[in-house]
């Protein structure tokens, strides 16, 4: 005990201190620590509950995300397929239309050629007709005043003989 | 119809003048009438003479009256196809047509009818007279349209030949002769709707149209 007193430690004070500590500890424990701990527990539980819920939600969300991802992939796959089909259809249609256009173009060319030929023929015929008319005019002009009267008279007699033969 | 009116009036006048000098003409026989008509000093067409040989007075007067009405422009008449009309048409389409073709009428008598013919030949053109005859005949009956086109005026003999030939198919018809220099040569004949074209113009047209 003297060692302890040399050290400065008073046993009575120590016991008092210990009792004081105990009383404080008891009081604190009963009126402070327990409610606090309860509150903390509640809080902890709440937090845990929230965390669990959050986890659940997260899992659900994850699941949903996965589902969505899977749907999205499915959809993408479908869209791709549809796009491919559409592209294929468009290609086929384009090919068909190109073929039809080529055909139509060939027909139009043929028609145009036929029309050109017909017009050309008409023009040639017209030119021929006009040339013949001009020749005829020239011939008539030449023969009108140049034929001797005896030849004309002979032609008249010949014509009348023909008529008599026909009507006989 | 004016030239023909004048001709027929002159003919009626000469005929009536003859009958006035022979009042008992219609009481005579055909043979006696022939003698009277032979002694005529004026020229009456033989067709009219043939008519006078067989007709009686009543019919003659009636037909003459109707003819005068026709010449005065009265449309309704009973002269169609009577013997007088027939005789007139026959004269116009044969003997008178030859006179027209020749362009002269040579005879010694100086009767009114002869003078009128010569007057007509001097006053009216050939075309005017032939159209007048054509219209006169048409007023009696349907007259087929007969026309002969030639590049130059036909010789009277040829015209007579043509008339005589056409009379066989179209009795008492009156073909019209026309000059159409455009024909160049040959003839173009119109026969009651048919055309027989022997002209050189037609031949040239045929040659130039074979390709058009």
Q: Which residue has the tokens 């809080």?
A: A43
Q: How many Å apart are CA B124 and CA B5, to the nearest integer?
A: 13
Name which residue leads in pLDDT, B98 or A113: A113
Q: How many Å apart are CA B151 and CA A156, to the nearest integer?
A: 8
What's the pLDDT score for residue B1? 56
Tokens standing for residue A110: 């043929």
With CB atoms and an 8 Å threshold, state whether A128 touches B184.
no
SS3 B205: helix
Q: Specify the pTM.
A: 0.57
What's the pLDDT score for residue A106? 96
Tokens standing for residue B188: 């173009």
Half-sphere exposure of B192 (CA within 13 A, CB side): 10
- Inform me whether the pLDDT recorded for B187 exceeds 70: yes
Top mean pLDDT of A113-122, B92-101, B161-170 is at A113-122
Length of chain B counted residue by residue: 212
- Percent of residues, chain B, with pLDDT higher than 70: 93
- Inform me whether the pLDDT recorded for B209 exceeds 80: no
Q: How many Å apart are CA A163 and CA B166, to the nearest integer?
A: 11
Of B2-6, B57-61, B200-204, least confident by mean pLDDT is B2-6
What's the pLDDT score for residue A96? 95
What's the pLDDT score for residue A140? 78
**Residues in CB range of B87: below 8 A, 6 or more apart:** B45, B47, B48, B50, B51
B95: part of which helix (H) or strand (E)? helix B95-102
Q: How confident is the model at residue B196 (pLDDT cuts 50, 70, 90)?
A: very high
Half-sphere exposure of B140 (CA within 13 A, CB side): 22
The answer to whether A151 contacts chain B (CB < 8 Å) is: yes
The answer to whether B150 contacts chain A (CB < 8 Å) is: yes
What's the pLDDT score for residue B80? 60
Round the average pLDDT of chain B to a whole number and report it: 83
Handedness of CA B30, B32, B35, B37 (dihedral sign): negative
Q: How confident is the model at residue B75 (pLDDT cuts 50, 70, 90)?
A: low
Q: Report the chain B residue with the minimal C-alpha distance to residue A167.
A: B169
With CB atoms and an 8 Å threshold, state whether B199 touches A160.
no
With CB atoms and an 8 Å threshold, state whether A164 touches B165.
yes
The answer to whether A136 contacts chain B (CB < 8 Å) is: yes
- Inform me whether the pLDDT recorded for B68 exceeds 90: no
Q: How confident is the model at residue B100 (pLDDT cuts 50, 70, 90)?
A: confident
Round the average pLDDT of chain A to a whole number and report it: 87
What's the pLDDT score for residue B211? 56
With CB atoms and an 8 Å threshold, state whether B184 touches A151.
no
Dihedral of the CA atoms B78, B80, B86, B88 (nearest 10)? Answer: 70
- Inform me whether the pLDDT recorded for B161 exceeds 70: yes
Q: Report the chain B residue with the minimal C-alpha distance to residue A152.
A: B185
The answer to whether A138 contacts chain B (CB < 8 Å) is: no
């Amino acid at each position: 005990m003297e060692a302890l007193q040399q050290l400065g430690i008073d046993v009575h004070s120590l016991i008092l201190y210990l009792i004081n500590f105990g009383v404080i500890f008891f009081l604190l424990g009963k009126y402070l620590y327990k409610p606090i701990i309860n509150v903390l527990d509640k809080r902890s539980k709440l937090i845990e509950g929230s965390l669990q819920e959050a986890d659940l939600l997260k899992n659900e969300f994850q699941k949903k995300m996965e589902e969505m991802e899977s749907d999205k992939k499915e959809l993408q796959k479908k869209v791709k397929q549809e796009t491919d089909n559409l592209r294929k259809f468009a290609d086929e249609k384009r090919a068909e239309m190109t073929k039809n256009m080529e055909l139509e173009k060939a027909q139009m060319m043929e028609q145009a050629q036929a029309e050109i030929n017909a017009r050309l023929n008409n023009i040639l015929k017209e030119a021929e007709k006009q040339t013949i008319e001009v020749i005829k005019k020239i011939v008539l002009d030449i023969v009108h005043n140049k034929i001797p009267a005896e030849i004309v008279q002979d032609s008249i007699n010949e014509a009348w003989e023909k008529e008599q033969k026909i009507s006989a | 119809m004016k030239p023909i009116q004048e001709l027929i009036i002159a003919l009626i006048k000469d005929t009536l003048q003859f009958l006035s000098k022979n009042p008992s003409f219609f009481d005579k026989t055909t043979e006696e009438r022939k003698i009277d008509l032979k002694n005529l000093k004026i020229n009456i067409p033989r067709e009219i003479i043939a008519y006078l040989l067989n007709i009686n007075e009543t019919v003659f007067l009636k037909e003459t009256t109707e003819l005068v009405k026709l010449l005065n422009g009265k449309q309704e008449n009973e002269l169609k196809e009577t013997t007088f009309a027939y005789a007139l048409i026959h004269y116009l389409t044969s003997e008178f047509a030859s006179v027209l073709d020749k362009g002269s009428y040579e005879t010694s008598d100086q009767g009114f009818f002869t003078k009128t013919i010569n007057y007509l030949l001097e006053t009216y053109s050939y075309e005017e007279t032939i159209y007048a005859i054509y219209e006169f005949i048409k007023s009696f009956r349907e007259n087929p349209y007969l026309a002969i086109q030639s590049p130059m005026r036909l010789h009277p003999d040829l015209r007579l030949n043509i008339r005589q030939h056409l009379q066989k198919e179209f009795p008492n018809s009156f073909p019209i002769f026309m000059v159409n220099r455009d024909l160049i040569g040959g003839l173009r004949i119109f026969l009651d709707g048919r055309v027989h074209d022997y002209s050189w113009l037609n031949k040239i047209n045929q040659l130039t149209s074979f390709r058009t």
